[in-house]
Structures are given as structure tokens and as C-alpha cells.
Amino acid sequence: AENAKREGVTTLASGLQFEVLTAGAGAKPTREDQVRVHYHGTLIDGNVFDSSYDRGEPAEFPVSGVIAGWTEALQLMNAGSKWRLHVPSELAYGAQGVGSIAPHSVLVFDVELLDVL
């Protein structure tokens, strides 16, 4: 909730929050598209749980094949954009959690949309 008060943060009806770090001018993907992204995912306390930057290569996946918060955000992004997402648990892994992500965790992602494939 505190994050929503920060300048530059937009909160959508779903509860997803985003901040545009870099505005791109490329195409916007649809649910049916595949995308290439770089991302860095942390828990709200800053602990990293996944990062394509750390692996040294971008990830490719279908827009509809990821957590709901990403599916929503990616369709709003232009290729070339970099956004910081605050994803509420109900748009991420919810009550189940996964791996090092505890149930009901808010996730923070820096997502760079490199290409719509």
C-alpha cells in the first residue's frame, strides 16, 4: 500500500502496481504473442528469487504462460520499455507459494521487454 503513494507509481484495478523506468516505442504484445524479456525478481524484503540478468541471457515465453500480473503488465508495455512491477500475491503464486516464495507473497520485478516475437 505504501508503494502506491510513491510518485510515478500507477495502480490498476487488479491491484497490480507499475512504475515506468524506461519508456519504449516498440510494439505491444497481445495474450497470444511470445516475448523476449530480461527480468529481476525479488521478494518485498529485497531477496532475489529469480533473475535472467544473473543467468546472463533473456527469457522467452508466451504472454499468457506466466503469472497473471505479468500477463496483464506485458500487454500494456511497448517493446523497449523497462517497468518495475509490484505484483500482489493473488496475481502471482497466491496461497500456494512456490520454491523460496512463501504463500501470500508480494513480488517485485524489474521487467525489460526486449522483443515481441
Per the residue annotation, which of 33, 50, 110, 115 is the catalytic one? 50
18 is catalytic: no
49 is catalytic: yes
Per the residue annotation, which of 18, 33, 45, 109 is the catalytic one? 109
Per the residue annotation, which of 33, 49, 61, 110 is the catalytic one? 49
Rounded distance, CA 22 to CA 19, Å? 9
Per the residue annotation, which of 18, 33, 39, 101 is the catalytic one? 39
Per the residue annotation, which of 33, 61, 67, 110 is the catalytic one? 67
53 is catalytic: no
Where are any strands of DSSP class E within the chain? 9-11, 17-22, 34-43, 48-51, 59-62, 82-87, 107-116
The answer to whether the beta carbons of residues 21 and 70 sit under 8 Å apart is no
Residues with catalytic function: 39, 49-50, 67, 93, 109
